[in-house]
Amino acid sequence: MSKVFDLEMIKEVYRRFPERIAAARAVTQKPLTLSEKILYGHLWNGNADASYERGKSYVDFAPDRVAMQDATAQMALLQFMQAGRKKVAVPSTVHCDHLIQAKVESKTDLTEAVNKNSEVYDFLSSVSNKYGIGFWKPGAGIIHQVVLENYAFPGGMMIGTDSHTVNAGGLGMIAIGVGGADAMDVMAGMAWELKFPKLIGVKLTGKLNGWCSPKDVILKVAGILTVKGGTGAIVEYFGEGAQSMSCTGKGTICNMGAEIGATTSTFGYDESMERYLRSTGRAEVADLANTIKEHLTGDAEVYANPGAYFDQVIEINLDELEPYLNGPFTPDLATPISQMKEAAAKNDWPTKVEVGLIGSCTNSSYEDISRSAHLAKQAVELGITPKAEFSITPGSELVRYTIERDGLIDTFDKIGAKVFANACGPCIGMWARVGAEKKERNTIVHSFNRNFSARQDGNPNTLAFVASPELTTALAIAGDLTFNPLTDTLTNDKGEQVKLMPPVGDELPTKGFAVEDAGYQAPAEDGSGVSVSVNPASDRLQLLDAFAEWNGKNIENARVLIKAKGKCTTDHISMAGKWLTYRGHLDNIANNTLIGATNFFNGEQNKVKNQLTGEYGEVPAVQRAYKAAGVPTIVVGDTNYGEGSSREHAAMQPRHLGVSAILVKSFARIHETNLKKQGMLALTFNNESDYDKIQENDQIDFVDLVDFAPEKPLTLMLKHADGSQDAISVNHTYNAQQIEWFKAGGALNLIRKSIA
């Protein structure tokens, strides 16, 4: 296996760690959680000189590294290119994983993707080469799996332009998903700001057994905390149950922490992490970590008495855990398998499982695949013909190559499985599913993390349930959503009743990992001669124009572009699937702005009233008309607005189209920051019920935007069509620096100015 990446950086982090933690103890005067150790260990200003207030203080951090995936890297790098630097300031990587469509099988699909996306891949590869960024080619694997295998290290801090960057918490990191503008700051050598998170402790007692897997832990936690319960918090797992679990299993749990809105999740360094580091060729990192072991986990006092040190504590007994199925349409609707018969009947969910899909960045470790293969093997031996289609998207070439060598792919072949490319594929709507265009109501089960409407196959009538790879495999074999493998039998080809035994697999390959070509391309030592070109006629890439500065005046007579009703995730604001094509071209991708959001006033999607003509039109077109007429607009939304992805397109598009403000009941963290960074006003109702006061024909005045200041609510005057008015108070979380971003028309404009 290749050499350890960035070993000197890791050594330096560990060298200063003890001293940083001593300083943190001195200022906080209390035992420390792991999360606090890592956060205080990465302060921009070095050793701590003050204790921060959780959920309140804005703090500058110095992350150790940055990761970007192709669909977000384009925008991040288009911004970075304007920062005037020769090289990235911290080790950074780009991963080509989101743009590969799952259609036929791995090789064919990969060739097709390389042909179709060559312009984007060439751009990413040459920018990487120029600025010293490691480049992982299409086919190398999914960002989070590749990061876990190569870059994550206990006690480290990283950011990544993808919400599931949090996956690296499985290896004891604080890894946080951000928008591209945040990544740019860090790559440009600036501090990275975050509100000091709250801390949720999850104590795991007992031990996983039988049909349960780490995925069931997070599916249960999602059921408890819901999609917004983790907002602004780090979830720290501990206890004997945590220690007895594999490192990759921990990664799965942290990965799906994104689905509860958590800033990130993490686990203390333990033997499972050491085993994983050694088996992925990083014995040196394991040896180094062992020398400061006590600093790489929470203090014993904290774990003995968690109630005194965490803002919230949840306890889960793994001995009593059951496999879960979460969904449809939201990852927090958690149903234990034993209650699925009832729940499906009550909700009229189609119980026939059409397809089972395993893999993705969430669940494609060697352990996951080998446990699922064990079930496939049993099906063959017991003479059961699987009832549903079945597919695997391996997370990396390292895992794919190794499972092929070990005969696991052959085993899946025997149940008719399709192996897709090592990429996001069906998880991000890049699944050319036969018949999806018919929009039939149907059920699928997968081991991914998200199941928002239309997310996998573009069909809003597909009910997707999230489960462990093991349960997904069992349900695909049974073809029945209500099949409970713990108690139920299946009829085999001879008409006999047979039972699947609980899955058994290997945590790590006994023969070690192997790979021929992992798909890595190192950057040039000196990239100054490398040229990066963007064709002005391209419909996939577009250099960025600066957004206009604030004119210093109150916004007046703003129209309501849309009042979104209910769930409005980043997928509703800027859809993925076929729109991924335009992730590097702001004007083109802006044509999908909010087309998935439901208009409160007519219950329809992508149909809003143009107040200038009185006619209804598509959201992007109506907004372009307002912009052309110089009419300001605002977007109104419900709770947890912008939940889901880190894609800053969801903030840049409305900004590009001229929307002035987003006013909602509450925001998801990354989206709120993305809006601020792009110079947009991100506001929340002081009184949530004021949402009801906003009418379709309103004109809205900002009364005191000229006095925009931290911690000071703003007042809006709603002028209704009947002549009546309502003054409402709206809150914001802008600090002084962020208000400067707003004034300048976006954070990037400030950087442009400083290097001009």
Cα-based distances in Å from 9 to 15, 19, 157, 472, 504: 10, 17, 12, 40, 38
* Helix (H/G/I), strand (E/B), else coil: 460: coil
Separation CA 713–CA 705 (nearest Å)? 10
Site string for ligand MIC, 456-495 (x = CB under 6 A): ----------------------------------------
CB-CB neighbours of 126 under 10 Å: 17
Q: Which of 640, 646, 653, 684 binds ligand MIC (CB under 6 A)?
A: 646
What's the closest the beta carbon of residue 198 comes to ligand SF4, in angstroms?
24
Tell me which residues in 89-128 interact with ligand MIC (CB under 6 A): 98
Residue 373 CA to its chain's centroid (Å): 27
252 binds ligand SF4 (CB under 6 A): no
Q: Residue 540 interacts with ligand MIC (CB under 6 A)?
A: no
Q: Is 2 exposed, middle or buried (0-12, 13-18, 19+ CB in 10 A)?
A: exposed
Which of ligand SF4, ligand MIC, none does residue 360 bind (CB under 5 to 8 Å by kind)?
Answer: ligand SF4
Does 269 contact ligand SF4 by CB under 6 A? no
# chain residues binding ligand SF4, by CB under 6 A: 13
Q: Minimum distance between the CB of residue 646 and ligand MIC, rounded to whole angstroms?
A: 4
Q: Which residue stretch of 139-147, 199-207, 318-326, 684-692 sits at the interface with ligand SF4 (rule: CB under 6 A)?
A: 139-147
Residue 285 interface partner, choices ligand MIC, ligand SF4, none, CB cut-off 5-8 Å depending on type: none
Helices (H), 558-647: 570-573, 586-589, 619-628
Decide: is 164 part of the binding site for ligand SF4 (CB under 6 A).
yes
Our CB check for ligand SF4 shows the closer of 82 and 360 to be 360
The residues, ordered by sequence, that sit 6+ positions from 478 with a Cβ below 8 Å of its Cβ are 353, 387, 485, 488, 490
- Residue in this structure with the two tokens 């999607």, named with its chain if needed: 605
User: Is residue 173 involved in binding ligand SF4 (CB under 6 A)?
Assistant: no
Whole-number minimum distance, CB 437 to ligand MIC, in Å? 22
- As measured in angstroms, the least distance from the Cβ of 601 to ligand SF4 is 32
Spatial contact of 214 and 208, defined as CB atoms under 8 Å apart: yes
Buried-state track 243-282, b at ≥16 Cβ within 10 A, e below 16: bbbbbbbbbbbbbbbbbbbbbbbbbbbbebbbebbbbbbb
- Residue among 98 and 418 whose Cβ is closer to ligand MIC: 98
| C-beta closer to ligand SF4: residue 363 or 459 | 363
Q: If we measure between CA atoms, which residue out of 197, 264, 261 comes closest to residue 57?
A: 197
Within residues 661-720, the interface with ligand SF4 by CB under 6 A covers none
Nearer to ligand MIC, 110 or 670 (CB): 670
In 522-675, which ranges are E strands? 558-563, 608-609, 616-617, 633-637, 659-664
Tell me how far CA of residue 255 lies from CA of 263, 310, 362, 384, in angstroms: 11, 21, 6, 33
Kindly indicate which of the ranges 202-210, 645-653, 733-741, 744-752 contains the residues binding ligand MIC, using the contact rule CB under 6 A: 645-653
Does 162 contact ligand SF4 by CB under 6 A? yes
Q: Which helix (H) or strand (E) holds 67?
A: strand 65-69
Distance CA 352, CA 444 (A): 8
Q: Residue 72 binds which one of ligand SF4, ligand MIC, none, with CB within 5 to 8 A depending on kind?
A: ligand MIC
* Distance from the first to the final alpha carbon of the chain: 45
Q: Does 76 bind ligand SF4 (CB under 6 A)?
A: no
Is residue 255 part of the contact set for ligand MIC (CB under 6 A)? no
SS3 of 111, please?
A: helix
Q: What does each C-alpha distance from 399 to 221, 516, 626 come to in angstroms?
A: 28, 11, 51
Q: Among the candidate windows 36-44, 142-150, 219-227, 708-716, which touches ligand SF4 by CB under 6 A?
A: 142-150
Distance between CA atoms of 631 and 97, rounded to whole angstroms?
A: 39
Residue 603, number of CB atoms within 10 A of its CB: 9
Q: What's the number of CA atoms in the CB half-sphere (13 Å) around residue 197?
A: 30
Ranges within 90-129 binding ligand SF4 (CB under 6 A): 98
Look-up of token digits 């925009």? 708
CB 452: neighbour CB atoms within 10 A?
Answer: 24
Sign, Cα dihedral of 289, 292, 298, 304 = positive
How far apart (Å, rounded) are the C-alpha atoms in residues 683 and 705?
12
Residues with Cβ within 8 Å of 333's Cβ and at least 6 positions away in sequence, in order, are: 223, 326, 327
Collapsed DSSP state (helix, strand, coil) of residue 61: strand
CB of 100 to ligand SF4, least distance (A): 10
- Print the binding letters for residues 393-432 with ligand SF4: x by CB under 6 A, - otherwise: -------------------------------x--xx----
Residue 647 touches which member of ligand SF4, ligand MIC, none, C-beta under 5-8 Å by kind: ligand MIC
- CB of residue 734 vs ligand MIC: minimum separation in angstroms? 23
Angle formed at CA 513 by CA 507 and CA 515, multiple of 5 degrees: 145
The answer to whether residue 162 forms part of the interface with ligand MIC (CB under 6 A) is: yes
72 belongs to the binding site for ligand MIC (CB under 6 A)? yes
Among the listed residues 4, 68, 71, 622, the single contact to ligand MIC using CB under 6 A: 71
From the list ligand SF4, ligand MIC, none, partner contacted by residue 646 (C-beta under 5 to 8 A by kind): ligand MIC
Stretch of 40-48, 220-228, 534-542, 644-652 contacting ligand MIC, by CB under 6 A: 644-652
Residue 326, strand partner residues: 334, 466
Q: Which part of the chain contacts ligand MIC (CB under 6 A), choosing from 119-127, 158-166, 288-296, 512-520?
A: 158-166
Residue 139, binding choice from ligand MIC, ligand SF4, none, Cβ under 5 to 8 Å by partner class: none
Any contact of residue 361 with ligand SF4 (CB under 6 A)? yes
**In terms of CB distance, is 43 or 66 closer to ligand SF4?**
66
Of 103-111, 122-130, 380-388, 642-650, the segment contacting ligand MIC by CB under 6 A is: 642-650
Q: How far apart are CA 675 and CA 105, in angstroms?
A: 38
| Residues forming a β-bridge with 316 | 204
The answer to the question of residue 360 lying near ligand SF4 (CB under 6 A) is yes
C-beta closer to ligand MIC: residue 386 or 425: 425
The residue type of 123 is F
Quick note: the x/- pattern for ligand MIC over 666-705, rule CB under 6 A, is: ----------------------------------------
CB 93 within 8 A of CB 521: no
Residue 192 in contact with residue 159, Cβ under 8 Å?
Answer: yes
Q: Phi/psi at 697 (nearest 5 deg)? A: -100, 15
- What sign has the CA pseudo-torsion 452, 458, 462, 464? negative
Under rule CB under 6 A, residue 449 binds ligand SF4: yes
Residue with tokens 């007692």: 205
Kindly list the catalytic residues. 97-98, 162, 450, 645, 647
Binding status of residue 373 toward ligand SF4 by CB under 6 A: no
Nearest to 444, CA basis, from 430, 462, 432, 431: 462
Q: Does 195 bind ligand MIC (CB under 6 A)?
A: no
Nearer to ligand MIC, 289 or 580 (CB): 580
Residues 578-637 that bind ligand SF4 (CB under 6 A): none
Residues that bind ligand MIC (CB under 6 A): 71-72, 98, 162-164, 177, 428, 450, 576, 644-647
Residues that bind ligand SF4 (CB under 6 A): 98, 142-144, 162, 164, 360-361, 424, 427-428, 448-449
